[in-house]
Every structure is written in C-alpha cells, then in structure tokens.
C-alpha cells in the first residue's frame, strides 16, 4: 500500500472493512474495492441504472451526499440556452407534496400561467408586437401568481433540511453536469432518501417565471462583471460549432422566453436514474444505504437519454484575437484547443499547465510576475470549460503597471516558445505528481469534496478511479512528451486570445 493511501486513511478515518461485511455486500451484488491502491469504495447499481458509490468513514457522525446528473449547459437545445441552469433553481422549489397546501388546485393555476406565458412569448417575438396586449397578459399572470401563492408553502424544502441539521446544502450547474449536494447527521440518512427521491421523481416547478426573472437579473449583472465578460467572449469566439460556445447561464433572449413546459420536457429527458450517480461518504453502513436506495429510488423509472454526440468543433488553423472595451482594469485570457480528457496527450498537458503557470514556482510566474514585473498574476488550466468533449488549455493573466496587454501577450507566447527549447526536468515533473497526490488527499479529508469527486469521476469521466488512474498516467510522462504536447497545442494558429481593454470614461 503506498504512502498516499496510508496517510489519507489515517487523516480521514477510513478503515478497512471486515470480511463478513464484504461477503454480505457481495451477496447484494455490490462491488467492494479490494485493491489497496484505491480507497475501499463500494459500488452498487440499481436495475433502473442509478449508480451508487459509498465510502465508510468513522471520523465524525456526518454523512455527505452528492448526486451528479450528466446534464449541463452543453445539453441545452438551440434556442433554450440556460435551461439546465434554470432547472437547477427549480429543484429547490419543492414537489407535489413539499411546498404546497393543495397540489391539484395549485397545478391548475400553474398550467393557466403556462398558457398565458406562451401567448406572451408568441406576441413578443412578432415584428410589430402589441405592447398593450402583452401588458394585459402579464397582468393576468400576476393575478394568477398571487392566487397560486395561497396554496404554496415557501421554502419548505429548505426548512425541512434545516430541521434535519443540514450543512453545505447547495447545487451547481456547469457546462457538463448538474450537481446537488448536502451533508447531514448520520442518523438522518433515511430522511435524505425520502426527500430526494420525491424531489427528483415529482418536481413541481412552481414559481418558474419568477425564478426566470431572477436568473435574467443575474445574467444582466454579469454584463457588468469583467470576469464574466472576458470568459463569455473567450468561449463564444473559441467554439464556432460545438455548444461549449454558449454561456452556462444562457443568452438573454433565450432565457427570457423559456417556458415551464420546456423545463418539464428537459426534466423528462435528462433527470432519469440511468443518467445519474449518487456518492455518499461518511459515517454509514453500506448495507443499510443500499436498502434505503432500493426502497426509495428503486421505482424511479429509467429513461431513454438523448444522443449527446453534439456537433464536433472543426480544427482551428488561424489565430483569433478579440478586443473588448470595458470599464475595468485590463485582463488577458487565451485558450488553445485540445483533444479532450481522454486524449493520450492530456497527461502531458496537465504537466505543462502546472509547470508553465500554476503556483509561485511556475516558469511564467517567476519570469513575468517576479522578474519582469509585467503581470499581476498568471494561471493555467488544462481543460476548460468542460471535460466531456475536446476543450481549451487556458492561460489567464493581467498586465501590471504600464505594461500593455499586447506586450504581456507576446511575452507569454515567447516564454511558451522558450519552454520548447528548455524541457522540464524530472524534478519538475515529480513536483506535479506530488501536487496531484496531495490534492486527492485533501479531497479525502472532506466528506463532501470527496463525494463530489467520486460522483463526477464516475458519471462524467467514466470511472470513479479516474483521479488515481490519471496520476499513474502522469507518472509515465517524460520530458519529451511535455515538449511535444506544447508544440502540438500551444501555438498561435490554435489559439483564441481575448483582451479586456480599459474603456476610458467619457467624462
């Protein structure tokens, strides 16, 4: 057993399972990891396709849950960008049992609101729209929403979880997936299954249009956020065919016309058990957890998941430089197309990102931040905005003092060129390996972080062991592999750079 696993087990309270329990789990057709190079994760799959991962830890009487669905911004159909993100908001609005005093009457009102909103959308998209008609329709919607409120119990889902002693309850939407997480005292495990099975089998999607307005306000606020603006421009100009082109929050015109019926159809397509992984880490008995899972999730009907082989991004053969005038200090982002996480070049690209621009000892930091004092910061990441499809190798920076953004850009590209002639040493590559092992160790210390890692690895990257297996691949990387990867991908003809240039006040 290697030092990483021994030390992580000591810190996190993980212990080796007794043989009797392993045999009992295997009778249930669960798979218990026996290779000491990995944590002793228990894998179980329901007949409906829901995957369950468990890691027993006795450090504290706390259990963390992470439910990951393989549906994100990339899965929105044309004209409905932002729907994955908006549905995530809807998942907190209760069910036909939670959050209502009379679901049948409330449902009738919600359907009337839906019909009116479709009429509003139809009129709004006309070339010569009737403003007076839209105004009257919105007044009718407002009256119905007030009527529906009489049947609603506000924030009941949150209240229930708070009474159960929840912590870290949250949800998030990315380009690739949507996640729902929470931590509970270990004597509340069954409560989680009762609530979450109802939540994902019977969502009410109440307050849809109110929440749509909240998201629209968030979207408009992003327009005044320089970080949001520069990332949106980078992705929308880097990808011309693949849906990584679209912002996760959606385009304003799309979001403003989303309907509750579209959200229902979206839910039916993607929120099915065979499109999800549930990871549970903490003070648990895996046998009891399996029984709870079968009891409460076993009747969740599997679905036919739509084809997720989206339009492939064509090769890029010329440099793109996008200049955005904005009232903020200048910033620089550049993205180089790569072949994706399952590419044979990815381990070398991971090493390259760490050595080039991550941490105070990285080459670009030492040269541009410390020596030449041209940059305020420098950072890199090997795969953004997602991991399911070919993505971007990112370098992010900002000029310091009187340095012009073009000068910083050229200096970064010069240093990348120099890197090709100054291959990394074995010591530098070993440093990357050490950092990755430490990052896994830190994840294991936190129940919630580790549950998320397990679920994302399994559902998005195809194997809960992905992080450990990637370390083994990185250990095989040679200095020449890194140079070849940099030569192949980090070139001007393969990149899009966005300059956020300070727009001077007209005053």
Structural domain contains residue 119:
no
Same domain, 341 and 488: yes
- Shared domain check, 337 and 393: yes
Assess whether 350 and 465 both reside in one domain. Answer: yes
Query: Coil, strand, or helix at residue 351?
Result: helix
Same domain, 436 and 479: yes
| Same domain? 219 vs 77 | yes
User: What integer is the mean pLDDT of 382-407?
Assistant: 97
Dihedral (C-alpha) 290, 295, 296, 298: value to the nearest 10 degrees? 80
Do 270 and 418 belong together in one domain? no
Beta bridge partners of 77: none
Q: Residue 366's domain spans which residues? A: 320-502
Is 45 among the domain residues?
A: no
Please check whether residues 284 and 211 belong to one and the same domain.
yes
272 and 362 in a common domain: no
Q: What is the 3-state secondary structure (H, E, C) of 298-337?
A: CCCCCCCCCCCCCCCCCCCCCCEEEEEEECCCCEEEEEEE
> DSSP label at 152?
B
pLDDT higher than 80, residue 504 = no
Mean local confidence (pLDDT), 146-151: 96
DSSP code, position 210: H
Tell whether 266 and 358 lie within a shared domain: no
DSSP state of 187: G
Range 426-435 average pLDDT: 90
How far apart are the C-alpha atoms of 38 and 36, rounded to whole Å? 5
123 part of a folded domain? no
Helix/strand/coil for 385 = coil
| Cα dihedral 182→186→187→191 (10° resolution) | 30
Nearest to 212 by CA among 121, 119, 102: 121
CB of 255 closer than 8 Å to CB of 82: yes
What proportion of the chain, given as a percentage, has pLDDT over 90? 89
**378 in any annotated domain:** yes
Domain-located, residue 305? no
The answer for residues whose C-beta is within 8 angstroms of residue 148's C-beta and 6 or more apart is 106, 109, 110, 113, 206
Rg, the chain, Cα only: 25
- Kindly report, residue by residue over 298-336, the tens digit of the pLDDT: 999 999 999 999 999 999 999 999 999 999 999 999 999
Residue 377 Cα distances to 13, 234, 367, 418, 455, angstroms: 37, 18, 11, 20, 32
Average model confidence (pLDDT) for the chain? Answer: 94
Domain boundary among 240, 263, 297: 297
Residues 250 and 346 in one domain: no
Q: Is the pLDDT of residue 264 over 70?
A: yes
Asked if residue 42 belongs to a domain, the reply is no
3-state secondary structure of 34: coil
Q: Given this model, what pLDDT does residue 444 score?
A: 82
Same domain, 385 and 446: yes
Q: Is residue 223 part of a domain?
A: yes
187-191: average pLDDT: 98
Over the stretch 36-84, which tens digit does the pLDDT of each residue have?
Answer: 989 999 999 999 999 999 999 988 999 999 999 999 999 999 999 999 9
How many domains does the structure of the chain reveal?
2
Pair (382, 343) in one structural domain: yes
What are 483-496's pLDDT values in tens digits? 999 999 999 999 99
Give the domain CATH number at 359. 3.30.830.10
Return the axis-axis angle of helices 131-149 and 208-222, rounded to nearest 10°.
120
**Any domain includes 78:** yes
């Amino acid at each position: 057993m290697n030092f990483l696993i021994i030390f992580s087990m000591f810190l996190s309270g993980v212990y080796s399972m007794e043989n009797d329990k392993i045999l009992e789990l295997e009778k249930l057709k669960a798979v218990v990891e026996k290779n000491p190079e990995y944590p002793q994760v228990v894998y179980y799959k329901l007949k409906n396709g829901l995957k369950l991962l468990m890691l027993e830890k006795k450090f504290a009487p706390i259990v963390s849950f992470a439910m990951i669905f393989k549906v994100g911004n990339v899965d929105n159909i044309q004209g409905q960008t932002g729907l994955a993100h908006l549905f995530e908001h809807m998942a907190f609005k209760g069910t036909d049992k939670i959050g209502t005093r009379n679901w049948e009457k409330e449902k009738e009102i919600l359907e009337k609101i839906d019909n009116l909103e479709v009429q509003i959308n139809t009129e709004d998209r006309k070339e010569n729209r009737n403003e007076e008609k839209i105004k009257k329709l919105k007044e009718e919607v407002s009256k119905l929403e007030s009527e529906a409120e009489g049947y609603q119990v506000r924030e009941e889902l949150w209240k229930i979880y708070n009474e159960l002693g929840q912590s870290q309850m949250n949800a998030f939407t990315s380009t690739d997936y949507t996640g729902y997480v929470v931590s509970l005292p270990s004597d509340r495990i069954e409560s989680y299954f009762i609530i979450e099975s109802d939540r994902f089998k019977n969502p009410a999607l109440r307050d849809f249009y109110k929440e749509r307005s909240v998201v629209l306000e968030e979207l408009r606020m992003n327009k005044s956020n320089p970080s949001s603006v520069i990332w949106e421009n980078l992705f929308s100009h880097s990808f011309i065919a693949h849906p990584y082109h679209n912002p996760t929050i959606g385009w304003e015109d799309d979001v403003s016309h989303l309907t509750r019926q579209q959200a229902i159809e979206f839910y039916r397509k993607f929120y099915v058990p065979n499109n999800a992984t549930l990871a549970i880490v903490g003070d648990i008995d895996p046998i009891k957890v399996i029984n709870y899972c079968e009891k409460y999730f076993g009747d969740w009907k599997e679905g036919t998941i739509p084809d997720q082989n989206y339009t492939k991004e064509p090769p890029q053969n010329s440099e793109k430089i996008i200049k955005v005038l904005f009232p903020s200090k200048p910033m620089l982002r550049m993205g180089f197309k790569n072949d994706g996480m399952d590419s044979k070049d990815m381990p070398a690209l991971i090493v390259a990102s760490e050595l080039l621009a991550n941490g105070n000892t990285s080459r670009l930091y030492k040269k541009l931040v410390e020596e030449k004092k041209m940059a305020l910061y420098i950072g890199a990441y090997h795969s953004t905005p997602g991991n399911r499809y070919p993505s971007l190798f990112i370098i992010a920076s900002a000029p310091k003092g009187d340095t012009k953004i073009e000068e910083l850009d050229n200096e970064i590209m010069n240093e990348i060129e120099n890197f090709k002639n100054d291959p990394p040493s074995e010591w530098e590559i070993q440093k990357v390996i050490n950092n990755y092992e430490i990052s896994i160790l830190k994840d294991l210390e936190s129940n919630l972080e580790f549950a998320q890692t397990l679920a994302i690895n399994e559902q998005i990257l195809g194997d809960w062991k992905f992080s450990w297996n990637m370390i083994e691949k990185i250990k095989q990387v040679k200095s020449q592999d890194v140079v070849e990867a940099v030569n192949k991908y980090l070139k001007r003809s393969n990149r899009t750079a966005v300059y956020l240039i300070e727009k001077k006040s007209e005053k």
